Structure 1
Amino acid sequence: MPRPHFDDIFMELAVNLAKRSHCIKAQVGAVLTKETRIISIGYNGPPAGTHNCDDEFPDLGCPRDSKGSCSLALHAEQNAILYAAKNGSDIAGSTLYVTLSPCIACARIIYSMKIERVIFLHSYAQYKGIGTDEGVDFLRRFGVQVDEYAPGDGFSLVSDPPLARRV
């Protein structure tokens, strides 16, 4: 049996982290690594100390902002990056594994934090039904390596994260 590549290990962890999300609309996980070591993890949801969307709004999910996004939640990438920064981790030069490609707002944060590489499982543009992956385009334009995840030889993810919670 071949040994799994670190990309496979970290994406599998991101998939499992997505399952911790309380979001009714989408469940997204993220793993921030540097030199094959985990710096931080995150999944989408409201800030700590507030309420979970599936508890407070079990039928429709949390209120939407003017662009149709959750008005309460932090994205998985934001949670992972904020936790790492809060704990003084050196993020520059790191790699971010995420189950949904970054939106434009997260892409700006990723670039600003000098994250070197992003590996994503699913396309944000396809999920949202929009023409282009603005976050991916932004990152590539400014020199961040962005790759769609491709499993290594003989490896497949144990499970794929649900983008919509089955209620």
Structure 2
Amino acid sequence: MTNPSRQERWDRRFLELAKVFGTWSKDRSAGTGCVIVGPDRLLRASGYNGFARGIDDEVPERHERPAKYSWTEHAERNAIYNAAKLGISLDGCTAYVNWFPCIDCARAIVQAGIVRLVGLHPDHADQRWGSEFKFATEMLRESGIEIILYDIPELAARK
């Protein structure tokens, strides 16, 4: 970012924080993080991709494809569930992610009342996630969510 605006500086800070939360993930290929911030720039919720509470994440086979897709919850939904568990409204909030949302997470973002998504440019050519990114983008845009994307490779979720 050359001569970033005040908002771009805040966006970068919260994207960096999403990356930090992503480092908590035990996923061997992607450490995805999400922070959800209110219009007042106060952190409302956070999450990272990982197993549900109480599930043993030390079982090696659960981390292998395709089984890991059944065991792992995505960062965005984890953040939304964490807010719900605490009774925190996400209406009017911004979600910051270091990996573009899949279609399931996009639906959750819409339903949670989040109005802005800030993340990194998705790789539409990605074999596993490319088509998901296209559908998610369409859904988020159609629902009126503002999408802001940056090109900051060092904040990407891949390990």
TM-score in terms of structure 1 length:
0.79
Q: Which of 1 and 2 has higher RCO (CA within 8 Å, sep 6+)? A: 1
Instruction: Give 5+ residue unaligned stretches, structure 2.
Output: none
Aligned mate of 1:61, from 35, 60, 63: 63
CA separation in 1, counterparts of 2:130 and 2:110?
22
CA 1:160–1:81: 2 relative to 1, 3 Å: same
Q: Which aligned segments of 4 or more residues in structure 1 are displaced greater than 6 angstroms?
A: none
Deviates more, 1:74-83 or 1:16-25: 16-25
The residue that corresponds to 1:143 in the other structure is 144
* Secondary structure of the corresponding residue to residue 95 of structure 2: strand
1:1-57: CA deviations, max 9, x gaps? x987211110000011111100123210000000211001110000011122xx322
Deviations 1:85-138 (A, max 9, x none): 111112111000001111111111111111100011241634436355211211
CA contact (8 A) 1:118 1:146 kept: yes
TM, length-normalised to structure 2: 0.83
Sequence identity percentage: 30
